[in-house]
Amino acid sequence: MKCVRSALFILVSVTVTFAASAQTVRFDSARKLWFLSTRDTSYVLGINEQNEMQHVYWGKRIAAENDFAPAHLASAYGFETREGRTAEEYPAWGGMRYGEPCLKVTFPDGNRDLVLKFDSQKIGSDILEITLKDISYGVFVTLRYRVFTAFDVIEKSVRVDNRTKEPIVVESAQSGVWHLPSGQHYRLSYLHGYWAGETRLAQEPIDPGKKILESRRGNTSGQANPWFAIDAGGAADEEHGKVWFGALGWSGNWKLVIEDTPYDQVRVVGGFNDFDFSYPLKPGESLNTPLFYGGYTELGFGDASRLMHSFEREAILPARSAGHLRPILYNSWEATEFNVDEAGQKALADKAARIGVELFVMDDGWFGQRNDDHAGLGDWYVNPQKFPNGLGPLIQYVKSKGMKFGLWVEPEMVNPNSNLYRKHPDWVINFSGRPRTEGRNQLVLNLARDDVKEYLLATLVKLLRENDIDFLKWDMNRHFSEPGWPAVAPADERKLWVNYVLNLYDIIDQLRAKYPKLEIESCSGGGGRIDLGILKRVEQAWTSDNTDAFDRLTIQDGFTHAYAPKLMMDWVTDVPNMNGRSTPLKFRFLAAMMGSMGIGANLNRWSDEDFALASKMAAYYKTIRATVQEGDLYRLASPHEGELTASQYVSRDGRQSVLFAFLRSQQFLRPAPTISLRGLDPNANYRVISIDDKLIDKADVLSGAYVMNHGLNFNLTGDFDSTSITLERVK
Ligand code: DGJ
């Protein structure tokens, strides 16, 4: 699947009519229609009689392209114009338009009217660029499409070029609109939450008006995630039904507007959040919007997720991570918090190695005067009391145990009680003469400033040069407030929202280029920075600070609707956990195996029995992780719907499948529901291997038809019971 990355990008600026074929991007000059084709979907857009861009179709693949008529404006009606009732592909705010606009601009002469007409096009093997131009000003807007055929995903983004002789101010720049077929009774699925309760799935009918999902917090945020799915008739389930889905790749302020117009047109507009947005463009300057991805399936939410998962693994995550399995990780945070030192970390490393851990990560507390969360952020030198000989001895020790070494950093932040802040109080985001509100006793460095960016890059390079570090856990533990940038002209201050993120990306890109073997985990106080923008630059994401295994089933279920299990970091930690809940160690291990597994417990408190179970579980995970991390996920029983949660993974070659099942609480002696597996070959036989004695169906070998139709029964009883089986295809 590597071809996805190295696709041909030669652009041709001619208007060509190709013979109908399996071509990915095709233009029909007679009808002025473009056809973007993926394996199973078609996306069609055209130029209408006003020379404006119009959406025509997005859904199941239609090979009979001749059936499509040219784009044609709807009729005017009552107080509505023709444009207002037409599915416009990229409506700017101008003329007589009242829907959510994609672009809003103010010109220096006070004019705020922008009307875009088709200007030119370029077609590549899997990309299309359509340039629009305002009816009088030299503002050019290029709609860019890229087709990811194998995953039924299309990427949209826009570049706004100021080719006038004056500066202009962009007040809203969206990446595009996804239009659904006109109609009613659609249902929206989205992910919401807060610290320790991220990526929880919500579903609600789409009614007339707008629903806004957004972040105004400077980063992606755990409060809402830039992903959506919409199903027809509110009738889709895991296996059936039309589902349109999409996600934004942006780790700053973002916005998704799900709009149901008065004319039953459901559309999703997404891009930069226009709240407090103002991006001046001098003559010759341009602005690129975030990438906005969309896909379609008629095989329900399960298939929508699997398409996203394989798309992320093959086309989003850093190229090196494709096919590479995530190691079992140990993290010191819940064991020691800030109380790290060489002897203590070595003791934990010893124990982690005994279990079979492959990557040992020292979390917060190793630098500056970081004894609690009141001091030290910004001072990225090794604390000499805790590590008198630097990090070298610990790193060597970890490596001598056969593990890689990882380190926690929070580069974007500074404690007022730090040398860095005392030296550069002007480097933080702030408004002149106004309070600097602290979150977790820290302020945000203004990464939009190039001097701050260069300083952070140099600091991280020094850290990596001086220490043999394989992995960084990159944290961010507060959101923006008082988002001022006093060093620039007031008119430029709000560029901060965008430039901060671009510079963050640039730092990570440069680090990765300089240290190609470096791996990174994205963390923001848990799952606060998970989106397709940051995921291009990191191997995995910290899912949530909530490591209560029972809560995690819900958080992880939501997560997998949008993001691949491989990049979902799950730790086994100690009990009682959040909510004061205690779950058995086995339950905690199996819950953590549903993604990339880690251990975050205080191993100093574990008994021999705990270690024995942990070693067994780690060994088991190593036999199934390729299937979990690289395979197809089937959510069989949702934690939202009953006592039982069950998920199954099938390897891409179909040779192995693994099932995890969890029972919350048994009542009234009720037996656990039968679990019917999916995604197997009905005609093949599978050897069934159970990790325990919970499986009631005792046969060693069962057919795919049997396990998918008759299903399997498990003796799950009491509270927080759990099990796992693997099925190996018999040759
Ligand atoms: C928040 C993260 O989510 C935790 O895992 C831990 O790294 C702390 N920050 C450390 O301050």
pLDDT at 2: 34
Q: How far apart are CA 153 and CA 148, in angstroms?
A: 5
For 362-373, what is each residue's pLDDT tens digit?
Answer: 999 999 999 999
pLDDT at 416: 98
Shortest CA distance to 573 belongs to which of 591, 595, 557, 555? Answer: 591
For 620-641, what is each residue's pLDDT tens digit?
Answer: 999 999 999 999 999 999 999 8
For 153-164, what is each residue's pLDDT tens digit?
Answer: 999 999 999 999
Say yes or no to pLDDT of 1 above 80. Answer: no
DSSP 145-172: EEEEGGGTEEEEEEEEEE-SSS-EEEEE
Which residue minimizes the CA distance to atom 5 of ligand 1? Answer: 545
Show the ligand 1 pocket: residues with CB < 6 angstroms: 333, 363-364, 408, 475, 477, 523, 525-526, 542, 545
State mean pLDDT over 280-304.
98
Looking at the CA of residue 373, tell me the nearest atom of ligand 1: 11
User: How close is the Cα of 411 to the center of ligand 1, in Å?
Assistant: 13
Do 5-316 and 636-729 come out as alike in CATH topology?
no
State mean pLDDT over 475-482.
98
Q: How far apart are CA 716 and CA 290, in angstroms?
A: 47
For residues 528 and 476, is the Cβ–Cβ distance under 8 A? yes
pLDDT at 22: 58
Average pLDDT, the chain: 96
Say yes or no to pLDDT of 10 above 90. Answer: no
Hey, what CATH topology would domain 5-316 get? Beta-galactosidase; Chain A, domain 5 (2.70.98)
Percent of the chain with pLDDT over 90: 95
Hey, what CATH topology would domain 320-363+386-408+428-630 get? TIM Barrel (3.20.20)
For 308-360, what is each residue's pLDDT tens digit?
Answer: 999 999 999 998 788 799 999 999 999 999 999 999 999 999 999 999 999 99
Q: How far apart are CA 709 and CA 692, in angstroms?
A: 23
Q: How confident is the model at residue 375 (pLDDT cuts 50, 70, 90)?
A: very high
For 505-525, what is each residue's pLDDT tens digit?
Answer: 999 999 999 999 999 999 999
pLDDT at 3: 35
Which residue minimizes the CA distance to atom 11 of ligand 1? Answer: 364
User: How close is the Cα of 421 to the center of ligand 1, in Å?
Assistant: 21
Percent of the chain with pLDDT over 70: 97
Looking at the CA of residue 526, tell me the nearest atom of ligand 1: 3
User: How close is the Cα of 475 to the center of ligand 1, in Å?
Assistant: 7
Domain boundaries, the chain: 5-316, 320-363+386-408+428-630, 636-729
Q: How far apart are CA 260 and CA 22, in angstroms?
A: 33
For 432-467, what is each residue's pLDDT tens digit?
Answer: 999 999 999 999 999 999 999 999 999 999 999 999
For residue 126, which phi and psi values (nearest 5 degrees)? -130, 15
User: How close is the Cα of 593 to the center of ligand 1, in Å?
Assistant: 21
For residue 687, which phi and psi values (nearest 5 degrees)? -80, 130
Which residue minimizes the CA distance to atom 9 of ligand 1? Answer: 525
Catalytic positions, written as ranges? 475, 545
Q: What are the start-end ranges of the E strands in 396-550?
A: 404-409, 413-414, 443-444, 471-474, 519-522, 540-542
pLDDT at 20: 36
pLDDT at 320: 79
State mean pLDDT over 61-89.
96
Q: Which of 334, 371, 542 to mutate to test the pocket of ligand 1 (most atoms within 8 A of CB)?
A: 542
Which residue minimizes the CA distance to atom 2 of ligand 1? Answer: 525
DSSP 359-381: EEEE-S-SBTT-SSTTB-TT--S
Which residue minimizes the CA distance to atom 10 of ligand 1? Answer: 364
User: How close is the Cα of 711 to the center of ligand 1, in Å?
Assistant: 41
CATH tag for 636-729 (out of 3.10.20.600, 2.60.40.1180, 3.20.20.70, 1.10.472.10): 2.60.40.1180
pLDDT at 75: 96
